[in-house]
Amino acid sequence: MDDMEDTTIFSTLKSFKSLISGPDHSLLETEPAYGRSDLQKLYTKRVELEEAAERVRSHTSLLQLTQEKQQMELSHKRARIELEKEAHSSSRDLQREIDRNRELLLKIRRLEEREEKANQALNEQMENNKALKRNLEELHKKANVKDSKLTEADQMISELKDETRRLNQKIQIQESKFSTQNLEIQALQEQLDVQRKKYQDVSQRYQNLQSSHSISTESELKMKELERRLALQEQDSVIVKNMKSEMVRLPELEREIKRLREENCFLRETKENNSLLKEETEGLRKKLERVERVMEEKLKAELEKEKLEQELQAWENIGQAAGLNIRKPEDLSREVIQIQQRELNLKQQNYTLNSRWTESLLNFTSWKTGVLELKLVLLYVGQERDGMRAILESYDSELATSEYSPQLMFRVKEAEDMLQKVQAHNTEMETQLSKAQEEAGSFKLQVQMMTAELEALKEQHVSNAEKNTLATAEEVSSLRQKIEELEAERQRLEEQNNILEMRLERHNLQGDYDPVKTKVIHLQMNPTSIAKQQHAEEVEQLRLECQLLRDRIRKIEAGGGVTKDDTTLIIPPSQEILDLRKQMESAELKNQRLKEVFQKKIQEFRTACYVLTGYQIDITVENQYRLTSVYAEHMEDSLLFKSTGPVGSGSMQLLETDFSRTLTGLVDLHLFHQKSIPVFLSAVTIELFSRQTVT
């Protein structure tokens, strides 16, 4: 297969080679002079072959396109002819209709005089008019359809023309490109040769340069090394000089070192000694301090000892001075206790003595008073005695003369009695005194006893009081516990109270109220209720709108699905919709304008046909044409033709109608024998005209 293709390609190549001029041959011949390899040749051949193939392909495509173009032109011509025929026929129909209209108008004018017939005719005419209008509309529709087809055909034609133009242009461009490319290839090849020569020269030079460059770098390296070595050697020489100078100094340094070492050892020893000595001194200092302290303490102790000895001696002297048998402090304490006891006893005695003394004083005072009384009595007695004596003396004086002796004796007896009485009184007084003294002593004893009892009672009372305090302490503790409990409860209640007050405050802040005392009122027509109503109404309205829109959308979706054949309904974006709508509107406008234009044209044409040919041609059914003559006697008189054969061929056949039956002679003559429809039609016209003019 490949061989076959190669052979065909080679054949085509040869043919094209013959077309291409000599320079190619020369090029091909001169090629081996450069010493090309077989591969290069094959490559060039292949390139040329590919180019040839491309040319072939382009040619074939060109031929195909020309063929298609011819076919298209043919089809276009056919379509045009058909449309022109249709246009003609439709124009003829139009003319006929117009002529008819005129005739009818004339008839109307004629029949106006006859009222009944005229009205009937008028009605008939009206009905006919309506029928005609309907026909007109149908024709318009058909004309529109044809018009659209025409426009489509025109568009197709224009598109095809454009395509052919484009293809021609492409072919031209490709041819030009091909030629330019060939020229470029030649130029590039020449340049390539030149460049290769240059490259060889340049490469040689570059190699020379590189070798020289490498040599130079090597020499540079050597130079650097030598320089470095030189520098090192200089450094070494400098170092050697220093070393020599240092070497000279070496023995001195050694001597110094020895000396310093000895010093070091010495210093270390001294340092150790120093430290030891320091420690010793510190220890001695501390000892000294301690000793000094001890000495002070010793002095103090000695002083104290002397004092104490003195005191002891004094104590001992006391003992000796006191005359007591004191050797030890216990004796002293015993003595002291004894002395204290004696003291107590003495105090007691003193107390008793004091009490006795006071009693005795009291007695004394009482005795004194008694004595005073006695003295008074005595005085009285004395005074009595004196008086008595005076009396006696007086009596004696008197009795000197008379008998004194019995009176005197009587008075003496009375005085003696008195004396005895006084003596008795004294003894009684003394006895009373002694009794009083005894009573006083007994009272004293009683007092003493009472005081002792009192003391005893006091002691008892104290003990009782202690017992009482114990009892009261228990009561007090219980009372205190109660108090504490009550305090705790009080605090708890206070806290609760605080919490409740806070809660109440909080509730008050939140707006709580006591329903018993307060009530809450507001206006019936308040903004909140109004706003709520409005809100609810708005919501309702929005819901209704939503529902309406949803229904609309459903309808649109349903309607869209019916007209389109697509199963998936993709709603195009609004932009496209607007563009499409605009396009639609513009297309509709165009359509309308075309319709109007077509209507006008077709009307003109039809009227012209009607006037010129004398027949009004209507298309009743597809491929059927009804011809009505100008001079027809009745409205229904018409000839029916049917087109047979392929579209555009123009072969027609007459169909049987009532009117055609009346024209059988003409039919036979012109159609069957002469086979000419125009002659027949003109014969019919003449016939009808003749009929008309006669009547």
Partner 1 sequence: MSKTLKGITLKGSAELVAEFFSFGINSILYQRGIYPAETFTRVTQYDMSLQLTTDAKLKNYLTNVISQLKEWLFDCTVQKLVVVITCLETNEVLERWQFDLECDKTAKEGSAPREKSIKAIQEEIRSVIRQITATVTFLPLLETACAFDLLIYTDKDLEVPEQWEESGPQLIDQSEEVRLRSFTTTIHKVNSMVAYKRTNST
Interface with partner 1 by CB under 8 A: which residues? 506, 508-513, 515-532, 535
Q: At its nearest, how many Å lie between partner 1 and the CB of residue 549? A: 22
Report, in Å, the least distance between residue 516 CB and partner 1.
Answer: 7
Task: Find the radius of gyration of the CA atoms of the chain.
Answer: 89
The strands making up 624-629's β-sheet, listed across from edge to edge, are 615-619, 624-629, 639-644, 651-655
Burial category of 663 from C-beta neighbours within 10 Å (exposed 0-12, middle 13-18, buried 19 and up): buried
Q: How far is the CB of 496 from partner 1 (least distance, A)?
A: 22
Rounded CA gap, 329 and 348, in Å? 28
C-alpha 319: how far from chain center? 108
Q: Which is nearer to partner 1, 204 or 534 (CB)?
A: 534
**Least distance in angstroms from the C-beta of 537 to partner 1:** 12
Cα of 253 vs its chain's centroid, Å: 85
Q: Which tokens in the block code for residue 95?
A: 């003319």
**Shortest gap between Cβ of 563 and partner 1 (angstroms)?**
43
Nearest-approach distance from CB 531 to partner 1, in angstroms: 4
Residue 36 Rama label (left phi>0; alpha psi -120 to 50; beta): beta
Give the span between the Cα atoms of 584 and 591, in whole angstroms. 10
**Bridge partners (DSSP) listed for residue 626:** 618, 640
- The SS3 of residue 427 is helix
Q: Do residues 619 and 139 lie in contact, with contact meaning Cβ atoms separated by under 8 Å? A: yes
Q: How far is the CB of 515 from partner 1 (least distance, A)?
A: 8
Q: Which is nearer to partner 1, 531 or 577 (CB)?
A: 531
The residue assigned the tokens 């022109």 is 84
Contact 506, 498 (CB under 8 A): no
Tokens of 366: 């009482």
> Closest distance between partner 1 and the C-beta of residue 523, in Å?
6
For the bound state, the minimum distance from the C-beta of residue 498 to partner 1, rounded and expressed in Å, comes to: 18
CB of 540 to partner 1, least distance (A): 14
**Amino acid letter, 506:** R
As a whole number of angstroms, the distance between CA 437 and CA 359 comes to: 9
Q: Are 101 and 635 in contact (CB under 8 A)?
A: no
Q: CA neighbours within 13 Å on the CB side: how many for 319?
A: 17
Give the residue with the Cβ less far from partner 1, 531 or 556: 531
Q: Which of 47, 37, 62, 41 is nearest to 9 (CA)?
A: 47
DSSP 639: E
Which amino acid, residue 577?
I
Q: Calculate the alpha carbon distances from 278 to 273, 310, 601 in Å.
A: 8, 47, 150
Provide, rounded to whole angstroms, the least separation between the CB of residue 512 and partner 1: 7
573: three-class secondary structure by DSSP: coil
Minimal distance, residue 520 CB to partner 1, in Å:
5
Which residues does 605 contact at the CB level (< 8 Å), separation at least 6? 87, 88, 90, 91, 92, 94, 95
Tokens describing residue 614: 């004398």
> What span, in angstroms and rounded, lies between the C-alpha atoms of 487 and 38?
129
- Angstrom distance (rounded) from CA 317 to CA 615: 199
Q: How far is the CB of 517 from partner 1 (least distance, A)?
A: 6
Nearer to partner 1, 498 or 586 (CB): 498
Kindly state the helix (H) or strand (E) to which residue 105 belongs, with its residue range: helix 38-111
The pair phi, psi for residue 529, each rounded to 5°, is -65, -40
Least distance between partner 1 and beta carbon 521 (Å) = 5
Supply the DSSP symbol for 403: T
* Residue placing its CB nearer to partner 1 in the complex, 510 or 568: 510
Query: Can you read off the two tokens belonging to residue 688?
Result: 């009808």
Listing DSSP states for 106-150 in one string gives HHHHHHTSSHHHHHHHHHHHHHHHHHHHHHHHHHHHHHHHHHHHH
**Is the Cβ–Cβ distance between 429 and 370 less than 8 Å?**
yes
Q: Tell me phi and psi for residue 619, to 5 degrees.
A: -100, 105
CB of 502 to partner 1, least distance (A): 12
Strand partners, 651: 644
- In whole angstroms, the minimum distance from the beta carbon of 474 to partner 1 comes to 54
